[in-house]
Amino acid sequence: MGKETDKKAEALDLRSFGQSYAVNYQFNASGPKVVRSYRLTTLLERYVDILWEPGSHKSNVRAFINELDEILLGQQFEAFTDEMVDRLIGDLRKRGNSNATINRKMAALSKLLRKAFKMGDIHSLPEFRRQKEKAGRIRFLEYDEEDRLFAAIRAKDELYCALCIFLVDTGARLGEGIGLRWNDLHENRATFWITKSGKSRTVPLTPRAIEAIEAQAGAVEGPFASVDQQRFRWIWNAAKAEVGLGTDDDVVPHVLRHTCASRLVRGGIDIRRVQMWLGHQTLQMTMRYAHLASHDLDVCLPILLRRP
């Protein structure tokens, strides 16, 4: 009877030991790995240089993850739960973030957590559901607006005006234009290697885009490599205020890419070619400009006309 009691007591002791010193494991190709608690900023520093290339997008990701870590009050976790995701989305919405902005921040978080899970740092992943985004209004520059804005920018800096001309005629993102190197230019075409989608693309250049590039012949690395983004945005904002566009929040440098896309669509270029020109990953992204191709519907009119 005494031996049986001792065995039961020993079993109870082992159970209590397991409860006090529970360890979670993540199994991957290299075998089991002990899962410790991390906060978002710790995982970010571990993987940010692996997951994101240098540039403005990487800087945005840092800001996104730091904000999410702040909302969680620096909480450490072994598994990121659905409840934590809901908490983040709810708080971001209270802060006035649109669904589109929330989606961008959640996309950065999802990418980081997937990497951490793959490496065995956390043992489960939450479900990320894309928030429904409103179509929204796409702002683009009319020709007279472009003329006035570019003239004001030229008066402040010839190089920055040349960059604007290049961006509006190629549809390139600001970072793509600045990242352009002389070896990326061949037979009046520009190849963008470092893109948001991760896929390179090549577009032909208009005569004035070629002139804008040739005017920078003395530059060492590339035609616009010396452009400072912060100063560029300062000059942009000062110039748009001078020409009466200062209160239009949509007139940011990215409006040049919208303007290029809009002109292609309004000029009769089919959506698939516009997608290739812009380097969009999906046709859905390009379809935002489809409504501008209203002239394509003119062929429907004769069908609807009633005959006398």
Reported as a single tens digit per residue, the pLDDT across 177-216 is 999 999 999 999 999 987 776 788 999 999 999 999 999 9
Structural domain containing residue 265: 143-292
Residue 111 domain-assigned (yes or no): yes
Q: Are residues 107 and 165 in the same domain?
A: no
Q: What is the pTM of this model?
A: 0.63
Q: Are residues 275 and 154 in the same domain?
A: yes
> Which amino acid belongs to residue 231?
R
What pLDDT does 32 receive?
52
Residue 18 domain-assigned (yes or no): no
pLDDT at 18 over 50: no
What pLDDT does 16 receive?
41
Beta bridge partners of 289: none
Q: Are residues 105 and 149 in the same domain?
A: no
Give the mean pLDDT of 160-188: 95
Residue 135 domain-assigned (yes or no): no
Q: Are residues 101 and 211 in the same domain?
A: no
What pLDDT does 302 receive?
81
Query: C-alpha 140: how far from its chain's center?
Result: 20
What pLDDT does 35 receive?
59
pLDDT at 20 over 70: no
Q: Domain ends where: 64, 86, 119?
A: 119
Check which CATH number belongs to the domain holding 267 and give it.
1.10.443.10
Q: Are residues 73 and 162 in the same domain?
A: no
Band the pLDDT of 291: cuts 50, 70, 90: confident
Residue 17 domain-assigned (yes or no): no
As a whole number of angstroms, the distance between CA 13 and CA 17 comes to 6
Residue 179 domain-assigned (yes or no): yes
Least confident of 3-12, 152-161, 192-201: 3-12
pLDDT at 26 over 90: no
What pLDDT does 55 receive?
75
**206 Cβ contact partners less than 8 Å away, ≥ 6 residues apart:** 169
Number of separate domains in the chain: 2
Residue 136 domain-assigned (yes or no): no
As a whole number of angstroms, the distance between CA 273 and CA 177 comes to 21
As a whole number of angstroms, the distance between CA 43 and CA 283 comes to 33
Band the pLDDT of 282: cuts 50, 70, 90: confident
Q: Are residues 173 and 94 in the same domain?
A: no
Four-point Cα dihedral 156, 55, 192, 223, nearest 10: 30
Q: Are residues 99 and 153 in the same domain?
A: no
